[in-house]
Structure 1
Amino acid sequence: MIIIGIAGGTGSGKTTVVKKIIDSLPKNEVVLLPQDSYYKDSSHVPVEERQNINFDHPNAFEWDLLSKHVSMLKKGEAIEQPVYSYLTCTRQSETIHMEPKEVVIIEGILALSDKKLRSLMDLKIFVDADPDERLIRVIQRDVVERGRTAEAVMDRYMRVLKPMHIEFIEPCKRYADLIIPQGGHNKKAIEIIKLYIEKILGK
């Protein structure tokens, strides 16, 4: 088994990198653990206050549960991955049953920021992109997928995303074994990762 952590700023192209890695490997060989699934449950917070939660801060995540689940997969045990609702900012009652596979990918903006979680990883990747490219992608995604106005997205970017990126996400670069510029468009980087995975798995 190989455990890979993939971090990078919002809109950097992490999801594309993950998809390209999964597509390059044999079918059903990867367990994907999105860090977003491990947001702390906010059902105890009054509904009108939930919009003030800073989802780009390390304190927003339940790190112990994520590390526990990675350790269980490493031991060959199945896990029940949480399901998080962005609409209500709460953890749902249902879970997703995950069996251990040859490749485990942990993907999220702060996937490399927790020391205990990093210690479980065999390969740590940081997906890099210019701030203006990330902002454009965030605007495109949030306007189309989340029904926000461009003004609201830019306001949130300046108030939350940019300062959190500088304080917590960018420093994670120092822990990366591999930094991928241009995200999923970097074909050579994806090929290198595929070769590394095959080498570790003895294929």
Structure 2
Amino acid sequence: MSISLPPSFNYSLPQSKVFFIGLAGGADSGKEAFCRVLIEQLQKNQVVDSSKALLLHLHDYYREPTDEDRVRIASGLYNFDHPDAFDWDLLAQVLDDLKEGNVTRFPKFDFATKKRTFEARSKGLEDPNVILLEGIFALYSQRIRELLNMKLFVDVDDDARLANRVARKVAEVNPDPIDHILTEYVRFVKPAFDDFIQPSKKWADIIIPRGLENAPAMELITSHAADLLGRHQQSNSTRPSRMNSSTVLQEMMSSTPSNASSTCPSPRPISKSAAHSETASRSSLTSSPVPRKDVLGGLTDSLYKPVPE
């Protein structure tokens, strides 16, 4: 069965030789863990050296709180889950510096003191050629999206994310009371997901249901990155050493039942999200179909408010 991918699925490595991957998703959906496993897979398959991969966290780009902000923070009324809480200009500047190979300093936000410091690039890290940006609003700003070569969205159930949040918060050195965790979730976290994060899913090239549990998605992304970066997979891999994303998808679709032709008279192009749905079906017969990229296209402007560019 032949597969036709839309033109937007074809990427090209920028002249700067820096490949940017953005990973968005709701709070506590396992974005950072997914990125770290992705980096490990890229290294394992000889796509990138350990000194050439850099992981950036959007939460380090919170803007410095003003005195008025600090009063609201102390009273629990400051919303860290709103786009206005981030320093988008600083993030764009750091990404531009990395793209051009310029010397830059990385911010580090201390949640205990709510202060921001800066640190130079790690001595063990050479000029990176693969940079991952993870965060709830990684796909929110058009200015940032235009710098990304691959845009991913981890789609995890609301209840699972809330359970992860509670487990994480109560395991901290100074755990928050359960009622405080739930109040914060209802007041800030859930509305931010509904109003800003969920709508940004429409910008994703690949939607990843279940996050780290979705092994086929990880393999597809790794193979596609390997193809784009012009590297070879390890010789002992179970797949051919030179594998691109289209080949992976074709193999996944080859398991289609023989009677599929009776229900589907002729091959038709599929969207990236729909193709991913096929990969998910291999690991779970009960998994729900992945929404098309345009599934959120009908949202009203009141739900999606782009960052002023």
More strand per residue: 1 or 2? 1
Counterpart of 1:191 in structure 2: which amino acid?
E
CA distance in 2, matches of 1:153, 1:168: 21
1:108 aligned to 2:135?
yes
CA separation of 1:6 and 1:46: change in aligned 2, threshold 3 A:
closer
More helix per residue: 1 or 2? 1
Maintained 8 Å contact 1:5/1:123: yes
CA separation of 1:41 and 1:28: change in aligned 2, threshold 3 A:
same
User: 3-state DSSP class of the match of 1:52?
Assistant: coil
CA distance in 1, matches of 2:69, 2:26: 29
Equivalence for 2:146: 119
CA distance in 2, matches of 1:46, 1:124: 32
1:21 aligned to 2:38?
yes
Maintained 8 Å contact 1:74/1:100: no
CA distance in 2, matches of 1:201, 1:67: 23
Equivalence for 1:39: 62
User: 3-state DSSP class of the match of 1:95?
Assistant: strand
Counterpart of 1:62 in structure 2: which amino acid?
D
Scaled by the length of structure 1, the TM-score of the pair is 0.94
How far the C-alpha of 1:108 sits from its partner, in A, is: 0.3
Maintained 8 Å contact 1:128/1:181: yes
How far the C-alpha of 1:130 sits from its partner, in A, is: 0.6
How far the C-alpha of 1:71 sits from its partner, in A, is: 1.2
Equivalence for 2:199: 171
| Cα deviation 1:51-78 (Å, max 9, x = unaligned) | 4221110000010110111111111123
Maintained 8 Å contact 2:152/2:207: yes
Equivalence for 1:9: 26
1:77 aligned to 2:102?
yes
Equivalence for 1:128: 155
Equivalence for 1:97: 121
1:201 aligned to 2:229?
yes
How far the C-alpha of 1:43 sits from its partner, in A, is: 5.1
Counterpart of 1:114 in structure 2: which amino acid?
S
State the identity %.
35
1:88 aligned to 2:113?
yes
Runs of 4+ with deviation above 4 angstroms: none
CA distance in 2, matches of 1:113, 1:198: 26
| Larger relative contact order, structure 1 or 2 (CA cutoff 8 Å, min sep 6) | 1
| Cα deviation 1:9-63 (Å, max 9, x = unaligned) | 0111211210111111222221111001110011534644324221110000010
Could you tell which deviates more after superposition, 99-108 or 136-145?
A: 99-108
Consecutive unaligned residues of structure 1, counting only runs of 5 or more, are none
Equivalence for 1:65: 90
Two-structure CA RMSD over aligned residues (Å): 1.5
Aligned residue pair count? 202
Maintained 8 Å contact 1:31/1:105: yes
